[in-house]
Structure 1
Amino acid sequence: MELCVMKKMTKIAAAVAALGMMASSLTGCGGGASGAISVITREDGSGTRGAFTELCGIMEDDKDNTVSSAEVTNSTAVMLTTVAGNAASIGYVSVGSLDDSVKALEVDGVAPSVDTVADGSYSISRPFNIVTKDGEELSDAAQDFFNYIMSTDAADVISKEGYVAQGTESYTSNGAKGSVVVAGSSSVTPVMTKLKEAYADVNPDVTVDVQQSDSTTGVTSTQEGVCDIGMASRELKDTETGVKSTVLAMDGIAVIVNKDNSLDAITKDQIKQIYTGEITEWSALTEQ
Structure 2
Amino acid sequence: MCMKKAVSAIAAVTLCAALLAGCGSTENFGSSTSPASNENSASTSASSASGESSAASTSASGPITVISREDGSGTRGAFIELFGVEQKDDSGAKVDYTTEDAEISNSTEVMIQSVAGNTAAIGYISLGSLDETVKAVKIDGAEATVDNIKSGTYKVSRPFNVAMKGDSANEVAKDFLAYIMSQEGQAVVSEKGYIGDDSAAPYAGTKPSGKIAVAGSSSVSPLMEKLIEAYQALNPGADIELQTSDSTTGMTNAIDGVCDLGMASRELKQEELDAGLVNTVIATDGIAVIVNNDSPIDELTSDQVKAIYTGETTDWSELA
TM-score calculated relative to the size of structure 1: 0.91
State the partner residue of 1:34.
Answer: 61
**1:23-54 alpha-carbon deviations (Å, 9 max, x no partner):** 69979966264201100111111000000000
Give how far 1:270 is off.
0.4
- Partners in 1 of 2:40 and 2:204 — Cα distance? 58
State the partner residue of 1:46.
Answer: 73
Give how far 1:206 is off.
1.0
Tell me: CA distance 1:189–1:100, structure 2 relative to 1, closer, same or farther (3 Å).
same
- Partners in 1 of 2:235 and 2:110 — Cα distance? 33
1:257 aligned to 291, 304, 315, which one?
291
For the 8 Å contact 1:25–1:33, the answer to whether it is kept is no
Amino acid at match of 2:136: A
Amino acid at match of 2:140: D
For the 8 Å contact 1:125–1:252, the answer to whether it is kept is yes
**1:125-179 alpha-carbon deviations (Å, 9 max, x no partner):** 0000001113x15211111111101111111111111100137232112241111
For the 8 Å contact 2:215–2:263, the answer to whether it is kept is yes
For the 8 Å contact 2:135–2:291, the answer to whether it is kept is yes
Equivalent runs, 1:112-191 vs 2, <5 Å: 112-134=144-166, 136-166=167-197, 168-191=200-223
Tell me: CA distance 1:194–1:85, structure 2 relative to 1, closer, same or farther (3 Å).
same
Instruction: Report the 3-state secondary structure (helix = DSSP H, G, I; strand = E; otherwise coil) of the residue aligned with 1:34.
Output: coil
1:274 aligns with 2:308: yes
Give how far 1:246 is off.
1.1
Pick the structure with greater CA Rg. 2
Which structure has greater helix proportion?
2
2:244 aligned to 212, 215, 219, which one?
212
**1:52-108 alpha-carbon deviations (Å, 9 max, x no partner):** 000000001111111001010010001111000000000001000000000100101
For the 8 Å contact 1:27–1:34, the answer to whether it is kept is no
- Partners in 2 of 1:53 and 1:74 — Cα distance? 16
Q: Report the number of matched residues.
A: 285
Amino acid at match of 1:258: N
- Partners in 1 of 2:257 and 2:168 — Cα distance? 12
- Partners in 2 of 1:156 and 1:222 — Cα distance? 26
Tell me: CA distance 1:28–1:283, structure 2 relative to 1, closer, same or farther (3 Å).
farther
Give how far 1:284 is off.
1.3
For the 8 Å contact 1:28–1:283, the answer to whether it is kept is no
- Partners in 2 of 1:98 and 1:119 — Cα distance? 20
For the 8 Å contact 2:40–2:294, the answer to whether it is kept is no
Stretches of structure 2 lacking an aligned partner (at least 5 in a row): 1-16, 50-56, 89-93
Tell me: CA distance 1:96–1:161, structure 2 relative to 1, closer, same or farther (3 Å).
same
Tell me: CA distance 1:20–1:177, structure 2 relative to 1, closer, same or farther (3 Å).
closer
Instruction: Report the 3-state secondary structure (helix = DSSP H, G, I; strand = E; otherwise coil) of the residue aligned with 1:81.
Output: helix
- Partners in 1 of 2:156 and 2:64 — Cα distance? 21
Give how far 1:238 is off.
2.0
Tell me: CA distance 1:116–1:19, structure 2 relative to 1, closer, same or farther (3 Å).
closer
State the partner residue of 2:271.
Answer: 239
- Partners in 2 of 1:277 and 1:175 — Cα distance? 52
Give how far 1:245 is off.
1.5
TM-score calculated relative to the size of structure 2: 0.82
Tell me: CA distance 1:147–1:220, structure 2 relative to 1, closer, same or farther (3 Å).
same
Instruction: Report the 3-state secondary structure (helix = DSSP H, G, I; strand = E; otherwise coil) of the residue aligned with 1:269.
Output: helix
Q: Alignment identity in percent? A: 48
State the partner residue of 2:123.
Answer: 91
- Partners in 2 of 1:17 and 1:122 — Cα distance? 39
For the 8 Å contact 1:27–1:261, the answer to whether it is kept is no
Give how far 1:21 is off.
7.1
| RMSD of Structure 2 on Structure 1 (CA) | 2.6
Amino acid at match of 2:179: Y
